[in-house]
Amino acid sequence: MIRIKLNSNKLISDLNNITQYSFGFLDGVNKGKNVFLRNVGNLTKELLEQYIDSNARSNPQMLHHVYEWHRTGSPDARLYDIKYTVSGRGLSFYSSFKQSTSIKNGSSVPFYNKAKIIEEGIPVTIRPVRSQVLAFEDDGEQVFTRSPIEVLNPGGTRAERGFQKTLDTFFNKYFTQAFLKASGIRDHLKNPVIYKKNMAKGKATGRSAGVSTGYIWITNAGVNI
């Protein structure tokens, strides 16, 4: 007859610790979630700005208005800001426009609200300020007029909503289809290898090991990109 003697107290203790390790892992993930989101936010903001700059250089008619005159695609000439917030609802991005300080050839003052006006396709009325006559070129010919000139689409039809379309393409296609996969974040979140690796420690110490393991796992997602 074969007899097996089990240490039931040790077995129950191990099972309890493993259970607490699992719960602690989830608590650690929740504790480190905001750190993870800020890491992703910083990286996404940087990539988004580079994405906009690259698209502006390849398609200046669409995005020239969100840069200073004659500097389309230049990082230090951006007329837009990309910011993000982390909250209980997750990670949110938003943009705003800055005032242009450069002056276009033939003008004497900056184009007030240039980025916003062209992006939204707001008509502009031009009136003489220091004289009674407007002077401008139209198809190479010098034109003089006393009447106000209304420009229905000051940036051209390709520029209208060009910035918004670029943001939509980034988040709806590039971010979901390429960035999450190429960065390794998607695979990292699908396969928490560290959870299994630290199981022995979890069986010995329980919840505390789970909390530290979960925190390390979630906060390391995307930081080595």
201 inside domain: yes
* Segment 140-172, tens digit of pLDDT: 666 666 666 666 667 778 899 999 999 999 999
Q: Would you say residue 78 has pLDDT above 90?
A: yes
Pick the closest to residue 36 from 207, 225, 216, 210 (CA basis): 216
114 inside domain: yes
Say if residues 21 and 207 touch (Cβ distance below 8 Å): yes
CB atoms within 10 A of CB 160: 19
**pLDDT > 90 in the chain, percent:** 58
Number of domains in the chain: 1
2 inside domain: no
pTM of the model: 0.78
Kindly report the average pLDDT of the chain as a whole number: 86
224 inside domain: no
pLDDT score recorded for residue 62:
96
pLDDT score recorded for residue 179:
83
Question: Residue 176 — pLDDT band, cuts 50, 70, 90?
Answer: confident
pLDDT score recorded for residue 198:
95
Percent helix / strand / coil, the chain, rounded to 5: 55, 15, 30
* Segment 126-139, tens digit of pLDDT: 666 666 665 555 55
1 inside domain: no
Terminus-to-terminus CA distance in the chain, angstroms?
60
Question: Residue 64 — pLDDT band, cuts 50, 70, 90?
Answer: very high
180 inside domain: yes
Q: Would you say residue 30 has pLDDT above 60?
A: yes
Question: Residue 112 — pLDDT band, cuts 50, 70, 90?
Answer: confident
Q: Would you say residue 41 has pLDDT above 90?
A: yes
| Mean pLDDT within 180-204 | 90
69 inside domain: yes
76 or 133: which leads in pLDDT: 76
225 inside domain: no
pLDDT score recorded for residue 79:
97
Determine the structural domain holding residue 194 and report its residue range. 9-219
